[in-house]
Structure 1
Amino acid sequence: MIDQDVTGQDIVVEVWSDVLCPWCYIGKTRFQAALDRFENKDRVKVIWRSYQLAPETPVGEGRAVVDAMAARRGTTVDQLGEVLDHVTTTAAELGLELNYDAALASNTFDAHRLLHLAGDKQSDLLDALFKAFFRDGKMIDDREELVRIAVSVGLDADTVRDQLASDAAAAAVREDLAMARQFQVSGVPFFVANRAIAVSGAQTEDVFLQLLTAASQPA
């Protein structure tokens, strides 16, 4: 079941992504550009759903993300160079900054909880989280850092602090992760329109426009 109010909006796009995924950052930017071009934009409800690429990451470890990536892939940081150069260049073409020299490996579970609690600020918060992680080298599994990021998009500090200190939205994150397994999502970003049409990866603007156009057609 789609668990958010979509009254009056008959195109529902659910997107599984993770905050430490550069292609999710790129994909979100390209999708937003396509949405801005879409003539029926007001009919679209976008729901950002949780996915964890590295759920085993210890909270607060603060390890360099390139070291963590190399360990997961069984390679060396030097051998990652070509991959990182490619994604960094692709991001830069969209005006996005990926600073892998500063990025710190983080467990994203609390960040995903916060995204579920952000209401109509969800998209803005996700952008702010991407910038904090990729550009500014912030530890996005530090709850006080998450409070600061939330405040930057207009959320209340005390409310966010209390929410993070509780189990608020933990069940919602786990439900997203379970749905990803059900849909056999093996990589992110993963876009699903009306639970009928799926697109995987950081596709081009035109591909996302085609997705939105197809979803707008009568069943």
Structure 2
Amino acid sequence: MSSVSKKFSVDIWSDYVCPWCWVAKRRFEKALESFPYKDNVQVNVRAYRLAPNHVAEPMVGALKRKLGSPAAAVSMMSTVKQYGQASGLDYRFETMLFGDTADAHVLVKAVEDEVLKKNLVEALYEQSTTQGKSLFDRSSLESIAKSVGVSDESIRVAWSSMELRHQMQEDERTAAQFGSGVPFFVFNNAFSMSGAQAPEDFLQALNQMYLESNGADESFSGQVCGMDGCN
């Protein structure tokens, strides 16, 4: 347990249909595990939808359309799979779906327990990316949520609360101030990092946060998914 009393925050904007976001999540977690003051870091999950109001469709077709060619889509999927495997993640693009993830984001916001929320976020990535489960059907989302212990009451609140949907929209409005694209990280409201950075780069950012930089707007960039595709 760290003896440092100061608390830090890391806000992470991501989407469950963003190909790079699961890789970025795993790399950040690896860096955080190595950070000496990890117990003092509050990680806040922020919502961002790559495809608001978009009807669910196969991921492969969506990538081909967004990237402009089948060859570009194949190249991108191959790269993501490679980086995913290096992080112990199994990407199966042939069964993945793409669309509006509003219900998934609201479901996460309905969970108050931080450990349970973390487990749900991981399950949403794993079940949609590896198992081909839908994030666009409430019965499917409920099954995923219950598999990690989310209560019926939390699920009921997710589907009925307008306040949670407003929170999701507020996350998106805040993200728009920084620009478009996920994954996106803000460290202690002081500086930002975008993309699926290497673990050592995330650790550098955590150390910079700890050293309490002078507040200059410094940013780091890596692979990012935006409304027009992934870079």
Tell me the distance in 2 between the aligned counterparts of 1:92 and 1:191. 23
CA distance in 1, matches of 2:80, 2:25: 14
- Contact kept, 8 Å, 2:50 with 2:100, in 1: the verdict is no
Structure 1 residue ranges without an equivalent (≥5) = 1-7
**Equivalent residues in 2 for 1:58-73, closer than 5 Å:** 58=55, 61=56, 63-73=57-67
Partner of 2:205: 211
Q: 1:158 Cα deviation (Å)? A: 4.6
Aligned 1:167-206 pairs, distance under 5 A = 167-184=162-179, 186-206=180-200
Q: 1:169-206 deviations in whole A, cap 9, x for unaligned?
A: 1000000000001122x221111011111111110111
- Counterpart of 2:52 in structure 1 is 55
TM-score calculated relative to the size of structure 1: 0.88
Unpaired segments ≥5 residues, structure 2: 214-231
Q: Which residue does the alignment assign to 1:135?
A: 130
Partner residue in 2 for 1:45: 42
Query: Partner residue of 2:12?
Result: 15
CA distance, structure 1, for counterparts of residue 212 and residue 73 of structure 2: 45
Q: Distance in 1 between matches of 2:12 and 2:6?
A: 16
Judged with a 3 Å threshold, the aligned counterparts in structure 2 of structure 1 residues 79 and 23 are, in CA distance, closer, same or farther, namely closer
Quick one: percent identity of the two aligned structures?
35
What is the SS of the residue equivalent to 2:42?
A: strand
Distance in 1 (CA, whole Å) between partners of 2:158 and 2:193 is 33
Alignment length (residue pairs): 207
Partner SS, residue 90 of structure 2 = coil
> Match of 1:30?
27
CA root-mean-square deviation: 1.6
Q: Secondary structure at the match of 1:169?
A: helix
Equivalent residue number for residue 85 of structure 1: 78
Asked whether the 8 Å contact 2:97–2:134 carries over to 1, the reply is yes
The alignment partner of 2:98 has SS state of: coil
Match of 2:158 in 1: 163
Distance in 1 (alpha carbons) for counterparts of 2:198 and 2:10: 16
Aligned-residue offset at 1:162: 4.7
Counterpart of 2:14 in structure 1: which amino acid? S
